Amino acid sequence: MASPVGGSTHPDEGERIDPWSSRQFADYQRLFDRFGIEPFDPSGLPQPQRLFRRGVVFGQRGFSYIQRAIDRKEPFAVLTGLMPSGYMHIGHKMVIDQVRYFQSLGAEVFLLVADYEAYATRGRSLADGRKIAIESYLANYIAMGLDPQRTQVYFQSSRTAVRDLALMLGTKVTWATMRAIYGFGDSTTMAHAAAPLVQVGDILHVQLERYGGPRPTLVPVGVDQDPHLRLTRDIAAAHRMVNITATADGRLGVFVRGDERITELLDAAQAALKGAGYRAFERNDPYKALYLTGVAPTPAALLELDVALMPLERAFGTFPFFPPSASYHRFQTGLTGGKMSSSIPASSVFMNDSLEEVSKKIRSAKTTGGATVEEHRAHGGKPEGCTIFEMHQYHLVDDDRALDDIARRCRSGELLCGTCKGEAAEGMVRWLKDLQERRPVALERLPEFLHEDLSGG
Ligand code: TRP
C-alpha cells in the first residue's frame, strides 16, 4: 500500500530512513557515518548468542547503559514491538532470539502489539490486528520459550500509560522536527503523524513507576526503526532536568534546566556527586552549570554521572528517563534475492507455512554459487550475502567451527549449492516442525503473559 508520507518528494530522500517503506537498506557503513549509529561490541557479553558473536547485531546507540546493568546485575528492560499487518517470518525470529538471550541475563521483557500503528499506517482494524498478532506472532513467540514471569505482552490500544505519554511527550517535539525526521508533509494524516509518538510512549512507559521505574531499556530493531529511536532518545533527553556533557575545553559539565530553583538544584547535584565520591567542583550559577575538575570526560564517566543524578531529578518532582538504548541487526537476504518481506511470500519462511512449502522454498532459493556445477567447482561460491549461508549462520548452525567449515567448503567449490540447500531445508523443517507442535500449548498460555491487559489496564 502506498504510504501517505511524502518521503519521495523531499529533497533529502536519499538520506532519510523511512520506517514504513519496503525498501531494503543496504549501506550499513552509511549508518555509522551519516546517522551516528555506533558499532556493536559483543566482547563484554557473557556467552553471547550467535547473532552477537557473528556480527549480525552490528550497531547500537547507548548500549553502555545495558552493558553496565549486565555487569552489575542491575535491572534492565528489553522491549520489542510487532506490527500486525504482515505475518511472522524468520526475519522476526531474530529479534526474539535476542530478546530471549537478554532475558536469560535477567532482563524484564515487554512485547507489544502495534495495533494503533497498523491501524494508522496500514488501515488494519484493531480486531484484525489482534487476531493476526495472536495467531501469527504471539503463539510463536511463546512457543520459542519466553518466560511468562518476566514477560509482559500488551496491545498499544489498551495501555493508557502509553497513550498518555504519547500526548504529553508530544510537547517536546515540533512539527518541523517530525517533518525533518520522517518527511511528513501536507498530505500526512494526523493518525500517521501520531504513530511515532505512540512508539515513544511504548519505549518510555516501561520506566514509569508502575512498570518498574527508571532503568536502562534496550530496543533491538532493524535499522528501519532507527528514526523512532532517535526521536525517543531526543525526547527523553529533553525531558531531563540535568544534562551531562563534555565541554569544549575538555571539562565535565553538569547543566541544569529550568527557570526556578537553579541554585537549589545545583546544590543538590553537587551533594549527590560528593556522595558518589567526586571531590573537585566549580560552579557557575548564572550558567546553570556545575563542572567537575580533574575528571576526564570519558563516556564511562558521563554514564556514571548520569546514573548518580537520576534520583535527584525525581526528588525535584520531574520524572527522568534513562535514554533508551538500541541495537541494530542485519536483515536476512530474501530467498528470492532482494529483500525478505511479508509482501513477497516466496522470499521468506513464514511460521505458518506448511513443512512441504518451506522445504520447497529453500530448495529453490537463489544462491551466490556458480551457474553450473562445473563453474561452482572451479570458482566456488560466496557465503557473504547468500540467503542459504545466512540461514545456517542466523538460525541453524550454532557451532562456530561448523559454520566456518561450511563457508570454507562453499568458497572452495567443494560444497555444492544443492547439498547446502538440502541441509538448510532439513534443518529449518526440523526447527519449524518442533515449533508448530508446541504452538497449541503456547497459545493456551497467552493469558499468563497478558497480565493487566486482559482487564484493560
Ligand atoms: N514500528 C514497529 C514496526 O514497524 C512496531 C513498534 C511499535 C515497535 N512500537 C515499538 C518496535 C516499540 C519496537 C519498540 O515494526
Q: Please say if the pLDDT value at position 255 is more than 70.
A: yes
pLDDT band at 454 (very low <50, low <70, confident <90, very high): very low
How much of the chain, in percent, has pLDDT values that exceed 70? 94
pLDDT of residue 254: 94
Q: Tell me the average pLDDT across 81-95.
A: 94
CA diameter of the chain: 79
Does the CB atom of residue 219 touch ligand 1 within 6 A?
Answer: yes
Kindly give the residue spans of alpha helices, DSSP state H, lying in 10-138.
28-33, 50-53, 63-72, 90-104, 115-122, 126-132
Pick the more confident residue, 26 or 135. Answer: 135
Q: Please say if the pLDDT value at position 359 is more than 90.
A: yes
pLDDT of residue 74: 96
- Tell how far the Cα of 233 is from the centroid of ligand 1, in angstroms: 15
Measured distance CA(74)–CA(215) in Å, rounded: 9
pLDDT of residue 4: 33
pLDDT band at 250 (very low <50, low <70, confident <90, very high): confident
pLDDT of residue 258: 83
pLDDT of residue 354: 97
Measured distance CA(176)–CA(302) in Å, rounded: 30
pLDDT of residue 226: 95
Pair 53, 100: CB distance under 8 Å: no
pLDDT band at 34 (very low <50, low <70, confident <90, very high): confident
Q: Name the closest-CA residue to atom 4, ligand 1.
A: 83
Q: For ligand 1, what atom is nearest to the CA of residue 83?
A: 15
Measured distance CA(223)–CA(201) in Å, rounded: 19
pLDDT of residue 93: 96
pLDDT of residue 285: 95
Q: What is the pLDDT of residues 189-208, one digit of tens each?
A: 999 999 999 999 999 999 99
Does the CB atom of residue 80 touch ligand 1 within 6 A?
Answer: yes
pLDDT of residue 9: 32
- Tell how far the Cα of 211 is from the centroid of ligand 1, in angstroms: 18
- The preferred substitution site among 20, 22, 112 for testing ligand 1, maximizing ligand atoms within 8 Å of CB, is 112
pLDDT of residue 23: 64
Q: Tell me the average pLDDT across 40-54.
A: 97
Kindly list the distances between the CA atom of residue 8 and the CA atoms of 1, 176, 195, in Å, as whole numbers in the listed order: 15, 17, 19
Q: For ligand 1, what atom is nearest to the CA of residue 20?
A: 4
The contacts of residue 318 (CB under 8 Å, 6+ apart) are 239, 240, 241
Q: For ligand 1, what atom is nearest to the CA of residue 79?
A: 14
Lowest mean pLDDT among 269-273, 293-297, 410-414: 293-297
Q: Find the length of the chain.
A: 457
Q: Name the closest-CA residue to atom 6, ligand 1.
A: 81
pLDDT of residue 76: 98
Does the CB atom of residue 193 touch ligand 1 within 6 A?
Answer: no
pLDDT of residue 267: 95
Q: Please say if the pLDDT value at position 99 is more than 70.
A: yes
Q: Please say if the pLDDT value at position 6 is more than 60.
A: no
Does the CB atom of residue 202 touch ligand 1 within 6 A?
Answer: yes
Q: Tell me the average pLDDT across 422-435.
A: 98
**Chain mean pLDDT for the chain:** 91
- Tell how far the Cα of 80 is from the centroid of ligand 1, in angstroms: 7
Does the CB atom of residue 139 touch ligand 1 within 6 A?
Answer: no
pLDDT band at 117 (very low <50, low <70, confident <90, very high): very high
Q: Tell me the average pLDDT across 366-390.
A: 90
pLDDT band at 173 (very low <50, low <70, confident <90, very high): very high
- Tell how far the Cα of 407 is from the centroid of ligand 1, in angstroms: 34
Q: For ligand 1, what atom is nearest to the CA of residue 224?
A: 4
How many secondary structure helices (H) and strands (E) does the chain include?
19, 13
- The preferred substitution site among 3, 18, 22, 83 for testing ligand 1, maximizing ligand atoms within 8 Å of CB, is 83
Q: Tell me the average pLDDT across 149-173.
A: 96
Does the CB atom of residue 244 touch ligand 1 within 6 A?
Answer: no
Q: Please say if the pLDDT value at position 50 is more than 80.
A: yes
Pick the more confident residue, 178 or 20. Answer: 178
- Tell how far the Cα of 7 is from the centroid of ligand 1, in angstroms: 19
- Tell how far the Cα of 199 is from the centroid of ligand 1, in angstroms: 6
The pair phi, psi for residue 2, each rounded to 5°, is -70, 135
pLDDT of residue 24: 60
Cα angle for residues 30, 225, 298 (degrees, 5° grid): 65
pLDDT of residue 453: 55
Q: For ligand 1, what atom is nearest to the CA of residue 228?
A: 1
Measured distance CA(350)–CA(353) in Å, rounded: 5
Pick the more confident residue, 368 or 407. Answer: 407
Measured distance CA(210)–CA(230) in Å, rounded: 25
Does the CB atom of residue 442 touch ligand 1 within 6 A?
Answer: no
For residue 81, the SS3 value is strand
- Tell how far the Cα of 274 is from the centroid of ligand 1, in angstroms: 40
pLDDT of residue 22: 62
- The preferred substitution site among 102, 122, 159, 202 for testing ligand 1, maximizing ligand atoms within 8 Å of CB, is 202
